[in-house]
Amino acid sequence: MDIVLLGSGNVATHLAKALKAKSENVMQVYSRNLINANLLADAIEAQAIDDVSKVDQNADLYIIAVKDDAIESLASALKNVKGLVVHTSGTTDIKVISAHVKNAGVFYPLQTFSKAKAVSFDHLPICIEAEDEKQLEVLRNLATKLSNQVYELGGDKRKVLHLAAVFACNFPNHLYALANQILVENDLDFNIIRPLIAETADKVMSNLPENVQTGPAIRNDETTLNKHLGLLNNMPELQNIYQTLSDSIKLTLK
Amino acid sequence: MDIVLLGSGNVATHLAKALKAKSENVMQVYSRNLINANLLADAIEAQAIDDVSKVDQNADLYIIAVKDDAIESLASALKNVKGLVVHTSGTTDIKVISAHVKNAGVFYPLQTFSKAKAVSFDHLPICIEAEDEKQLEVLRNLATKLSNQVYELGGDKRKVLHLAAVFACNFPNHLYALANQILVENDLDFNIIRPLIAETADKVMSNLPENVQTGPAIRNDETTLNKHLGLLNNMPELQNIYQTLSDSIKLTLK
């Protein structure tokens, strides 16, 4: 397939490399910023462009991997192409694209991407959506080349999944950061809790989290909860988070 | 070393098996509940007792691995032993034991233990504390037999570490559970977010969490934040948690 990639951020970068590794032909990389376009295009031997009017009109697939609020203007710039135009957003409706182009779809890789770390696509959930079976088949074929976890989801379910992902990824990572803040204030190193973080995640690979909850709140251990709240007296924001999450855990007690 | 283990819960069980695997002689397992004492004692070929007066008085080490509020009464029951008496608690002061016995210490394995899952001790942080160098040496020798991550920490640092562990383990696990609640409500399976959870934890094995935060809050993406809050209209508790944690993430924005 001849593919044009619009975007040069985290999702675009990881997706481009995964496509290249499966010998897909990413012809062009578009970015508003030519330096960024070049950086990614060079890595996958594609053409870099910073003018959307230079997008090849005969590609099979156009992947818009940019910030949510920039998707629509790019879709409208692709209104004359015959190929399939998809976005990679968890929250954006397919209509934001289909309002402008003939063939619209969604190709949403459910993962946290940072430039600092390579990610394998082998088991990476890819959620696809299209408006007819023919286009869905195109996306299914591409997605299954990249990953063995392909989900055909309507927009409503995809948006809920994206919300769940914030709870399962963005919030836990922030809690790791708050833990580190507590450690650093007390001259302790983040290394000391890395095995705990790894095991906490590993445990829910084969169990449901509600069945393996540990800690003072699930034991209704008020003594420890109060000691912890006391230790946070000079960190009111963390104290509030501690109270809020402990209360929520206690709600699950029978 | 001849060891008596007091307790038969998660920490006692995992620790007993790790000691047994290193050929340490766990002579007795005490539990208030003889069935539980038997269950664990049988697994490691020890004697099961449910009467603390039957504790062997000549062991080298007594490990009290019970709920925090039950530690003191067991320590006082051991007032005549000459061996070292330790607890395994993150939050309990060493004085709770040293007030009663001659040789007191702390042997705190920093990990989340569930009966459902085996845990390797090889890299498991063990925090030790004692009141003199001779006793500390005993604990250091035992801890380094089990793990290559042994930390000598005073009580204040250990308590802070336990607090950080709640942020790094108990709270993230609860957020996984809330994510699952959202998924189940929408007929989606927890499997779909397992790779995301694994990658989120894996990312901070080689990065600091504050450097790899992703998601709508750190992008200051008000549109998505408001969409998510809207999706949680009929789950006010989750809406409150979403708002609290997103606000906290936004505080880290420069």
Listed residue (B119, B80, B120) closest to B100, CA to CA: B80
pLDDT, residue B116, reads 80
Q: Check which CATH number belongs to the domain holding A35 and give it.
A: 3.40.50.720
Same domain, A27 and A133: yes
Q: Check which CATH number belongs to the domain holding B243 and give it.
A: 1.10.1040.20
Measured in angstroms, the CA of B85 and the nearest CA of chain A are apart by 22
Same domain, A139 and A189: no
Same domain, B111 and B191: no
Measured in angstroms, the CA of B56 and the nearest CA of chain A are apart by 31
Same domain, B228 and B193: yes
User: In the predicted model, what is the mean pLDDT of residues A201-227?
Assistant: 95
pLDDT tens-digit profile of A141-187? 999 999 999 999 999 999 999 999 999 999 999 999 999 999 999 99
Among the three residues A95, A127, A153, which one is the final residue of a domain in this structure?
Answer: A153
Listed residue (A11, A115, A117, A171) closest to B199, CA to CA: A117
Residue B53 vs residues A51, A156, B74, B77: alpha-carbon distances, Å: 84, 63, 10, 7
pLDDT, residue A120, reads 92
Q: Which of A91, A146, A169, A226 should be substituted to probe chain B, the one whose Cβ sees the most B Cβ atoms within 10 Å?
A: A169
Same domain, B44 and B143: yes
Same domain, B124 and B234: no
CB atoms within 10 A of CB B243: 15
pLDDT, residue A101, reads 97
Instruction: State which amino acid sits at residue A222.
Output: E
Among the three residues B128, B153, B178, which one is the final residue of a domain in this structure?
Answer: B153
Token code pair at residue B225: 């934040």
pLDDT, residue A116, reads 80
Same domain, A234 and A118: no
Mean pLDDT, all residues of chain A = 96
Cβ contact (<8 Å) for A163 and B67? no
Instruction: State which amino acid sits at residue B241.
Output: I
Same domain, A148 and A170: no
State the Cα–Cα distance between residues A6 and B189, nearest whole angstrom: 31
Same domain, A126 and A201: no
Residue A227 has pLDDT above 90, yes or no: yes
φ/ψ of A106, rounded to 5, equals: -130, 140
**B93 shares contact with chain A (CB less than 8 Å):** no
Number of domains in chain B: 2
State the Cα–Cα distance between residues B116 and B102, nearest whole angstrom: 37
State the Cα–Cα distance between residues A95 and A135, nearest whole angstrom: 15
pLDDT, residue A114, reads 83
Q: Which of B13, B112, B147 should be substituted to probe chain A, the one whose Cβ sees the most A Cβ atoms within 10 Å?
A: B112
Residue B254 has pLDDT above 90, yes or no: no
pLDDT, residue B114, reads 83
Same domain, A110 and A10: yes
Measured in angstroms, the CA of A44 and the nearest CA of chain B are apart by 24
* Domain of residue A182, residue span: 159-251
pLDDT tens-digit profile of B48-66? 999 999 999 999 999 999 9
Same domain, B176 and B220: yes
pLDDT, residue A253, reads 86
**B52 shares contact with chain A (CB less than 8 Å):** no
Q: Give me the residue from A68, A201, A227 closest to B224, CB to CB.
A: A68
Residue A115 has pLDDT above 90, yes or no: no
Same domain, A80 and A116: yes
Cβ contact (<8 Å) for A170 and B207? no
Among the three residues B122, B153, B184, which one is the final residue of a domain in this structure?
Answer: B153
